[in-house]
């Protein structure tokens, strides 16, 4: 009989990691490749070495902790997620997937269970994309979605590059991600809080994830003309912020017109010169589009560009630049891995349902190169990317038990 994970040990590990970057409101701020991220990585690596795992780091800073199997011809079964957070993040997003994977290996150690296939836990670099773009950087480089050199030269708002940040925290590894691209894992499983309200609304502990919404991210720059706020009549202004406000309203309507799975968010904005008595001359903001099928995503893209063209035509001094910075199509996970998750939940007597992921995860990139599936557990009120993010210990334990059972179905 397959053992259960140690619920208290897993929970304590989550709480210990959450102390690094803890906020006054009970959340976590641990941005990618900062000193706090280094401390979180060191804590995880220390736990891995205590568990007898070998640890290596690749050139984009991804961490791989390995428990060997008995069959040297078998490729590894991997688990993982990320430990970087949003600026006002919580204790569970990403962290649960990493520490659930570690808890699986600790449990196998406790019960002297040896698998035929090796098992690995991975910490992916810069999943959140809060400090550096592109989002899901580590898994994207690993799977070849974009190049290592492209990722290393990206800079944060202070002009610090990914390469410099990796060197500063001591996690600029030597192994090239491309050396293992596509051939390292036989399967990949990622446990995660749902980050939405569906499981809680249905009163169910486990979500079986068949896939994820596709996404397009943009940087939009609206340029008008700076002028004095007092002497300049309203009719003679070329206000970049006012134009941006009109465009943002249209962006919101685009998502509503693609219900029920259309999503649109403007979450970042910079206004220049950002002065009380100067009409804004330039505004840069982000756009995040999501949809369940690629045709809808393409339509939303076309509608955004049409809206920009129309707005430009209304003012000869107004220009709008749209730069797409992230794109990946809707993702469909591996049927056999999905079945393993469902069968594991049912074998444990855990009620479950299918839940499409509205968020992007490292699993989306992994699905391009290896059989992949995800496991969701509920979070309170569906809230995530927030300091009040919370999951119940019983649900965390249930998700980790499903992960353990699903992995063993592939590794034995």
CB environment 350-372: b (16+ within 10 A), e (fewer): bebeebbbbbbbbbbbbbbbbbb
pLDDT digits (tens, 9 = 90+) for 165-185: 999 999 999 888 755 444 579
pLDDT above 80 (res 396): yes
pLDDT above 80 (res 394): yes
Here the tokens at position 170 are 């001591």
pLDDT above 80 (res 104): yes
pLDDT digits (tens, 9 = 90+) for 255-296: 999 998 899 999 999 999 999 999 999 999 999 999 989 999
pLDDT above 70 (res 132): yes
pLDDT above 90 (res 328): no
pLDDT band (50, 70, 90) for residue 98: very high
CATH code for residues 7-213+330-411: 3.40.630.10
Same fold, 7-213+330-411 and 215-328: no
Check residue 350 and give its pLDDT.
Answer: 98
pLDDT band (50, 70, 90) for residue 8: very high
Which residues, other chains included, contact 5 with Cβ-Cβ below 8 Å and sequence gap of 6+?
A: 100, 103, 104, 106, 107, 397, 400, 401, 404
Q: What is the CA radius of gyration of the chain?
A: 23
Check residue 260 and give its pLDDT.
Answer: 86
pLDDT over 70 for what percent of the chain? 99
Domain ranges of the chain: 7-213+330-411, 215-328
Contact 174, 64 (CB under 8 A): no
Check residue 303 and give its pLDDT.
Answer: 98
- Mean pLDDT to the nearest integer, 138-154: 95
- Mean pLDDT to the nearest integer, 216-233: 98
3-state helix, strand, coil in the chain (%, to 5): 35, 25, 40
Q: If you average pLDDT over every residue of the chain, what do you get?
A: 96
Check residue 179 and give its pLDDT.
Answer: 57
Check residue 181 and give its pLDDT.
Answer: 45
- Mean pLDDT to the nearest integer, 93-110: 98
Check residue 402 and give its pLDDT.
Answer: 98
Here the tokens at position 173 are 């590894």
Residue 154 CA, distance from chain mean position: 18
Give CA separation, 39 vs 32, 142, 169, 170, 247, in Å.
Answer: 11, 23, 9, 11, 41
242-245's contacts with Cβ under 8 Å and 24+ in sequence apart are 243/283, 243/311, 243/315, 243/318, 243/320, 244/220, 244/269, 244/283, 244/285
- Mean pLDDT to the nearest integer, 136-143: 96
**CATH number assigned to the domain with residue range 215-328, chosen from the 4 options 3.30.559.10, 3.40.50.300, 3.30.70.360, 1.10.260.40:** 3.30.70.360
CA dist., res. 225 & res. 238, Å (int): 5
Task: Indicate the burial class of 43 (C-beta count within 10 angstroms; 0-12, 13-18, 19 or more).
Answer: middle
The conformation of residue 336, written as its DSSP 8-state character, comes to: H
- Mean pLDDT to the nearest integer, 84-112: 98
- Mean pLDDT to the nearest integer, 102-109: 98
List residues bridging with 218 in a β-sheet: 287, 324
pLDDT above 50 (res 145): yes
Check residue 183 and give its pLDDT.
Answer: 58
Here the tokens at position 179 are 């050396």
Tokens 């444990």 -> residue = 348
pLDDT above 70 (res 91): yes
pLDDT digits (tens, 9 = 90+) for 188-206: 999 999 999 999 999 999 9
Check residue 261 and give its pLDDT.
Answer: 87
């Amino acid at each position: 009989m397959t053992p259960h994970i140690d619920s208290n040990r897993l929970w304590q590990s989550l709480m210990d990691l959450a102390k690094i970057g803890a906020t006054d409101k009970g959340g976590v701020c641990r941005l990618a490749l900062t000193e706090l991220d280094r401390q979180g990585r060191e804590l995880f690596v220390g736990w891995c070495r205590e568990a007898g795992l070998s640890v290596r780091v690749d050139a984009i800073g991804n961490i791989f902790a390995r428990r060997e199997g008995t069959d040297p011809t078998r490729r590894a079964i991997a688990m993982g997620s990320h430990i970087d957070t949003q600026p006002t993040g919580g204790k569970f997003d990403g962290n649960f997937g990493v520490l659930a994977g570690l808890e699986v290996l600790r449990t196998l150690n406790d019960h002297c269970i040896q698998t035929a296939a090796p098992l690995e836990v991975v910490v992916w670099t810069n999943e959140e994309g809060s400090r550096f773009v592109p989002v899901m950087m580590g898994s994207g480089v690993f799977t070849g979605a974009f190049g290592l050199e492209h990722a290393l030269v990206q800079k944060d708002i202070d002009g610090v590059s990914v390469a410099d940040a990796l060197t500063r925290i001591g996690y600029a590894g030597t192994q090239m991600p491309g050396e293992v691209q596509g051939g390292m894992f036989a399967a990949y499983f990622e446990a995660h809080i749902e980050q939405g309200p569906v499981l809680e609304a249905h009163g169910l502990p486990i979500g079986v994830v068949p896939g994820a919404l596709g996404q397009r991210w943009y940087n939009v720059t609206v340029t008008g003309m700076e002028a004095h706020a007092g002497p300049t009549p309203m009719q003679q202004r070329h206000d970049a912020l006012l134009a941006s406000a009109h465009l943002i309203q249209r962006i919101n309507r685009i998502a509503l017109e693609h219900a029920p799975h259309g999503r649109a968010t403007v979450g970042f904005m910079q206004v220049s010169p950002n002065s009380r008595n100067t009409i804004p001359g330039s505004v840069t903001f982000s756009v995040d589009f999501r949809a369940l099928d690629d045709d809808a995503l393409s339509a939303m893209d076309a509608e955004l560009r049409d809206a920009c063209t129309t707005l430009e035509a209304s003012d000869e001094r107004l220009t709008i630049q749209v730069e797409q910075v992230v794109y990946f199509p809707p993702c469909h996970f591996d049927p056999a891995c999905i079945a393993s998750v469902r069968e594991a939940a049912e074998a444990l007597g855990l009620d479950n349902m299918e839940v499409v992921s509205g968020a992007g995860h490292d699993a989306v990139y992994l699905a391009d190169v290896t059989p992949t599936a995800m496991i969701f557990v509920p979070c309170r009120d569906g809230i995530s990317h927030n300091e009040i993010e919370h999951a119940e210990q019983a649900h965390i334990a249930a998700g980790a038990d499903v992960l353990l059972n699903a992995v063993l179905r592939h590794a034995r």
